[in-house]
Structure 1
Amino acid sequence: MVSDGSPVVELAGVSFAYEDGPPVLDGVDFVVPEGRALALLGRNGGGKTTLLRLLSGGLRCGSGRLRVAGEDVSYDRRGLTRLRTTVQLVVQDPDDQLFAASVGQDVSFGPMNLGLPEAEVRARVREALEALDITALEDRPTHLLSYGQRKRAAIAGAVAMRPRVLILDEPTAGLDPHGQERLLAVLDGLRASGTTVVMATHDVDLALRWADDAAVLVPGGLRTGPVAELLADSGLLATARLRQPWAAAVARLLRGRGLLGEAEPGPLTAEELDAWAGTGAMAAPEG
């Protein structure tokens, strides 16, 4: 996996099974390098959510080790506090995460639990609300929020902890296209400010245009690497029960007709394809 820095959080030889069940993960190595956007993909029920909960300390490894900045995590109060100031998980359904009467109260919960001074808590809440573009919702009761607003409020609660790694489980699920684009813009802003983002998704098109790297869960293991490389591997996608990304199929078609060079990146969205065609790039080669 290409990295801009050393691993910030990693699983080493990790196996996990729920009580009386078969292994969900078996001997998995998973590295999250700092400064990258990483998409975690796999079939439904393939272990994505379990992997994310292991990374965040919500589940304890059956065997193997969880490390932060190269050090093994201890599951006592001190160790978990250190982990949760480094790694924050936002679950798929915001209603499983939001519990306070108002948005501001909910976002302040994590920093207050750290025992921070009131002024510091207020600064973090303000910072998180601004980052998620929901400052106007600070006093809004959480039960009066739209679904997209609840998604962003849940993420704001994690951002207020100022984690080095933000983990999101299917963050675009249930959002309309406009809501998805707004959320992705927010994530781009967080990445620009230095937050490493890991996103579990089944949307291969989203993964291809958003992520730097990918991790694909397959029976018996995990494949990691540059997202464009992994999502061009038809055998891997078939094993993981994932479809081929639209952009990869378009690029293959264009290369087959001599309209795109082997080393040239193809358009990743319909808008990019339209713009690319408008430049005359799709003109048939002479001869």
Structure 2
Amino acid sequence: MSEPALVALRGATFGYEDGPAVLSGLDFDIREGRALALLGRNGSGKTTLMRLLSGGLKPDEGRLTVDGEPVTYDRKGLTRLRTTVQLVVQDPDDQLFAASVEQDVSFGPLNLGLDHAQVRVRVAEALSALDITALADRPTHLLSYGQRKRTAIAGAVAMRPRVLILDEPTAGLDPDGQERLLTTLDGLRAGGTTVVMATHDVDLALAWADDAALLTPSGVRTGPAATVLARTDLLRAAGLRLPWGAAAAQLLRAQGLLTETQPGPRTPAELAALAAGRPAASGA
């Protein structure tokens, strides 16, 4: 039997005022320790789903649970939820508001009622985790786009959530910035944080995620990333293309260079390893 979900939506339906339901009867699980990529076309409900999972929206029907316990939407229940789940939105300028990096990152812990010594420890840990300790006193309006992204994530990390949900975290970053951010996320995962990433980048999802969730008109389809992202029917329904790694695996199998049981390449490095006669790294 599989482990129960850390965070789960059951039968969740939600629609904005005077509009149709964006999500209807949705079941969705976040399992502890798994890197999850959330994908779908614009308008598929990704942002709504993330806000339901983080407590920013309340389902019209259905329920949200943490460790199997229903979330209540009073002050106590939402505080409990937000110490478990933190959402970082796509545009850091929608999240940053304090004068300096340190002040911005300290806002959440201060709102938890922690004393100043505890807040300082959390802020120092978050700045270190995001590799922005040297920016602590920098005015937020003087940060580069990538630095603002890291500061926004640090503010969430300072809450010590068990689940970190990121909306398009690599959007707007150059390749070096993307690699540095992904390395940072790997460090957070190694420290016990479960990471959920909404992205349009199917290649990134295949390379990074353990599991993938595709939002399609007929519902959400979730499973191991290498399996779900090789399903052309599901990708088509979600308005997405086949990742190059999945296409390469299909070609290699058609040429007899890869068996059905061998994992396909998820990154260029893994494809190079296969070309050199070494086995590709197996997905989680």
Normalising by structure 2, we get a TM-score of: 0.96
> What CA distance in whole angstroms lies between the structure 1 residues aligned with 2:203 and 2:147?
24
Q: For residues 1-16 of structure 1, what are the structure 2 equivalents within 5 Å?
A: 5-16=3-14
User: C-alpha distance in 2, partners of 1:182/1:76?
Assistant: 38
Output the amino acid matched with 1:89: L
- Who is 1:57 aligned against? 55
Residues 26 and 220 of structure 1 are in contact (CA less than 8 Å); yes or no, is this contact kept in structure 2? no
Contact 1:25 1:220 (C-alpha < 8 Å) held by counterparts: no
Aligned residue for 1:177? 175
Distance 2:223 2:148 in 1: 32
Among 244, 259, 280, the alignment partner of 2:257 is 259
**Counterpart of 1:268?**
266
2:219 to 218, 221, 225: 221
Identity of paired residues, percent?
A: 74
- Alignment-derived partner of residue 64 in structure 2: 66
For residue 107 of structure 1, what is the amino acid of its counterpart? V
**Partners of 1:73 and 1:80 within 8 A in 2:** yes
2:233 alignment partner, SS class: helix
Code of the aligned partner of 1:143: H
Q: How does 1:13-92 map to 2 (within 5 A)?
A: 13-92=11-90
1:112 pairs with 100, 105, 110, which one?
110
Instruction: State how many pairs are aligned.
Output: 279
> Kindly tell me: are residues 238 and 118 of structure 1, through their superposed partners in 2, closer, same or farther at Cα, counting changes over 3 Å?
same
Please report the TM-score for the alignment, with normalisation by the length of structure 1: 0.95
| CA distance in structure 2 between the aligned counterparts of 1:265 and 1:30, rounded to whole angstroms | 27
Any residues of structure 2 matched to 1:96-111 within 5 Å, and which? 96-111=94-109
What is the CA deviation profile of residues 27-75 of structure 1, one whole-angstrom value per residue up to 9, with x for unaligned ones?
Answer: 0000101111001111111100100000000011111001111111111
Q: The residue matched to 1:25 in structure 2 has which SS?
A: strand
Distance 1:63 1:127, change over 3 A: same
Q: CA deviation at 1:222?
A: 0.8
Please give the per-residue CA displacement for 1:161-217, whole angstroms capped at 9, x wherever unaligned.
000000001111111111111000000000000000011111111111111111110
Give the 3 Å change call, closer, same or farther, for CA 272–59 of structure 1 in structure 2.
same
Q: How much has 1:6 moved relative to structure 2?
A: 2.9
Establish whether residue 146 from structure 1 lines up as the match of residue 173 from structure 2.
Answer: no
Give the CA deviation at 1:280: 8.0
Aligned to 2:28, the other structure's residue is in SS state: strand
Q: Which amino acid aligns with 2:174?
A: D
Distance (Å, rounded) in 2 between the aligned partners of 1:197 and 1:277: 32
Matched, 1:135 2:133: yes
Residues of 2 paired with 1:270 and 1:108: CA distance? 39
Shift of 1:270: 2.3
Q: Could you tell me which residue of structure 2 aligns to residue 193 of structure 1? A: 191
- Offset at residue 265 of structure 1 (A): 1.4
Amino acid across the alignment from 1:164: R
Q: Is the 8 A contact 1:90 1:158 kept in 2?
A: yes
Distance 1:163 1:225 in 2: 24
Distance 1:280 1:262 in 2: 17
Asked whether the equivalents of residues 207 and 227 of structure 1 are also in contact (C-alpha less than 8 Å), the reply is yes
Matched, 1:202 2:227: no
Structure 2: how far apart are the matches of 1:275 and 1:34?
31
SS across alignment from 1:7 = coil
Mapped to 2, the partners of 1:19 and 1:280 lie a distance apart of 56
1:106-159 CA-partner distances (Å, limit 9, x unpaired) = 000000001101100000000000000000000000111111110000000000
Kindly indicate whether the alpha-carbon contact (under 8 Å) linking 1:251 and 1:267 is maintained by their aligned counterparts in 2. Answer: yes
Alignment of 1:150-161 (within 5 A): 150-161=148-159
SS of the equivalent of 2:177 reads helix
Runs of 4+ in 1 over 3 A off after TM superposition: 278-281
Cα distance, 1:258 vs structure 2 = 0.8
